[in-house]
Homo-oligomer: A and B are copies of this chain.
Amino acid sequence: MTENKKKTIPRRPSGFPELLPGEQISFNRILQEIKDVYESFGFSPIETPALELSEVLLAKSAGDTEKQIYRFTKGDNDLALHFDLTVPFARYVAEHFSELTFPFRRYQIQKVWRAERAQKGRFREFLQCDVDIIGTKNMASDAEMLSVIFSVFQKIPSAGNFTVRISNKNILTGFLENLGLDGITSEILRSIDKMEKIGEAGVLSELSLLNVSDANIEQIFSFLRTKGTNREILEKLASFKILNNLFLLGISELNAFVSFAEKMKLPQENYKIDLTITRGLDYYTGTVYETILNDYPELGSVCSGGRYDNLVGYYSSQSLSGVGVSIGLTRLFSKLKEIDNLTVKKSSVADVLIIHMSEDLFSVSHKIATDLRKSGIPTDEYLETAKIQKQMTYANKLGIPFVVILGSNEEINEMVTVKEMSTGLQSLVKQNNLAIWLKDKR
């Protein structure tokens, strides 16, 4: 390459975040906690391609989704990047139906892409951590999702306290049908879903545009304001005596859900019925969830989901109900990073760096490194020829806690000097004993 060639500016399209190594290490640690929780509940991993055929991906979508999608043609294929993991999951289940065992518990952790308008906390590429049970109508599964969410957030103490807001879409849909608004329930639910973004005034004007009468708007708002403990809200709902089948189904499902959650002895302050929760997506047909961090409500929901009755039905004559939630880890982490200032701690996975006074010590250095690695101690070797000070600076910058120093005399008497970086203390340790010594210190 000639030096006078014009350089390309190294930059990313906006809305596509990436992390520095220290941040990525923290991110991966949380990701591992989530995986561990999912697997502890017996959810098995699957992955689906990032690109799907557009006709498959958009089988069920409304116009809003199409605008937000990265879609293009390559050869004969009309392709699109998946915008969530639920639709690909439905396709997966339909495609592999005869090879799966139901109820099928799966988790799926992958990036998804949405061509949204870029703004703070909104990403165009982000990691979703989905967990679903499909092939069950039992509300015990809906309650188990709560248990999964609780177990995950217990493992992320820096997120602080949280509230899972729950509702059942049938209740509000039935209530709207009872008001004679049958044809436009989806539109009204999508509008109510935006309550926190656009406020009551915004929702009100959207409902007016949908030709909902003032009297009905008042009834809807009054209904949405139903407050109290979970049991109190359930009692109030029953007391309305609305004889709409969907409404009654919703109440019965929510009742069963709350009963199961009570039997699980989950702390009541952490899950609250909130009738404004509707989820924008059409495919939810029962329980819906949103999770907010109590200290950071402005972040929006960090774990959402719901029950769906007929998602697979777009691809198959099989009728399969399921329920699931998804943690938006990219957004959650963007806040955790601020809270914890996670980056400064350690920018290397290594716990030990081996440095040397001379390249002649390469054999010894590699032997020690291999022994430590086999003992489960991640070990970095400084392979360049450099002054000891420079090698020490490398360890310091990366926050590697122990440095093994090889000087020529150590090669002879099989001792090494180990410097504990936090204290500056140096110890002379037998090579044979080094792994045990370090494990003891860590």
State whether the Cβ of A424 lies closer than 8 Å to any Cβ in chain B: no
- Residue of B42, B349, B353, B376 near A379 (CB, 8 A) is B42
Chain B residue, CB-CB nearest to A49: B16
Residues of B within 8 A of A379 (CB): 40-42
Chain B residue, CB-CB nearest to A136: B384
- Which of A137-145, A172-180, A186-194, A291-299 contacts its partner? A137-145
Q: Taking the nearest CB of chain B, how far is it from the CB of A326, in angstroms?
A: 18
Q: Are A20 and B373 in contact (CB under 8 A)?
A: no
Q: Are B19 and A125 in contact (CB under 8 A)?
A: no
Q: Are B115 and A74 in contact (CB under 8 A)?
A: yes
Residues of B within 8 A of A264 (CB): 363, 366
- Residue of B43, B59, B96 near A20 (CB, 8 A) is B96
Q: Are A56 and B16 in contact (CB under 8 A)?
A: no
State whether the Cβ of A158 lies closer than 8 Å to any Cβ in chain B: no
Q: Are A47 and B19 in contact (CB under 8 A)?
A: yes
Chain B residue, CB-CB nearest to A351: B42
CA distance A81 to B21 in the complex (A): 22
Q: Taking the nearest CB of chain B, how far is it from the CB of A122, in angstroms?
A: 15
Residues of B within 8 A of A369 (CB): 41
CA distance A95 to B9 in the complex (A): 8
Chain B residue, CB-CB nearest to A28: B45
Q: Taking the nearest CB of chain B, how far is it from the CB of A258, in angstroms?
A: 13
- Residue of B113, B138, B347, B362 near A260 (CB, 8 A) is B362
CA distance A359 to B141 in the complex (A): 12
Residues of B within 8 A of A147 (CB): 366, 370
CA distance A137 to B412 in the complex (A): 29
- Residue of B9, B59, B115, B380 near A105 (CB, 8 A) is B380
Chain B residue, CB-CB nearest to A262: B363
- Residue of B79, B111, B138 near A385 (CB, 8 A) is B138
The A310-366 residues at the B interface (CB cut-off 8 A) are: 310, 313-317, 347-350, 353, 359, 362-363, 366
Q: Are B373 and A40 in contact (CB under 8 A)?
A: yes
Residues of B within 8 A of A436 (CB): none
Given known A8-B59, A8-B315, A59-B8, contact A348–B44 (CB-CB < 8 A): yes
Q: Are A49 and B125 in contact (CB under 8 A)?
A: yes
Q: Taking the nearest CB of chain B, how far is it from the CB of A341, in angstroms?
A: 15
CA distance A104 to B5 in the complex (A): 26
Q: Are B44 and A25 in contact (CB under 8 A)?
A: yes
Contact with B along A17-50 (1 / 0, CB 8 A): 1111110110010000000000111111111111
Residues of B within 8 A of A50 (CB): 50, 81, 111, 113, 125
State whether the Cβ of A13 lies closer than 8 Å to any Cβ in chain B: yes
Residues of B within 8 A of A400 (CB): 42
Q: Are A47 and B18 in contact (CB under 8 A)?
A: yes
State whether the Cβ of A224 lies closer than 8 Å to any Cβ in chain B: no
State whether the Cβ of A272 lies closer than 8 Å to any Cβ in chain B: no
CA distance A89 to B43 in the complex (A): 33
Q: Taking the nearest CB of chain B, how far is it from the CB of A438, in angstroms?
A: 14
The A35-75 residues at the B interface (CB cut-off 8 A) are: 39-53, 55-56, 59, 70, 72, 74-75
Q: Are B13 and A53 in contact (CB under 8 A)?
A: yes
Q: Are B349 and A49 in contact (CB under 8 A)?
A: no
CA distance A366 to B147 in the complex (A): 10
- Residue of B11, B75, B317, B348 near A56 (CB, 8 A) is B11
Q: Are B52 and A13 in contact (CB under 8 A)?
A: yes
Q: Are A362 and B92 in contact (CB under 8 A)?
A: no
State whether the Cβ of A433 lies closer than 8 Å to any Cβ in chain B: no
Q: Which 8 A-B pairs have the closest CB atoms?
A: A42-B380, A42-B350, A72-B72, A10-B94, A16-B49, A10-B315, A140-B383, A8-B59
Q: List 12 A-B contacts (CB under 8 A).
A: A8-B56, A13-B79, A18-B92, A21-B100, A24-B47, A28-B45, A41-B369, A72-B72, A75-B115, A103-B384, A136-B384, A264-B363
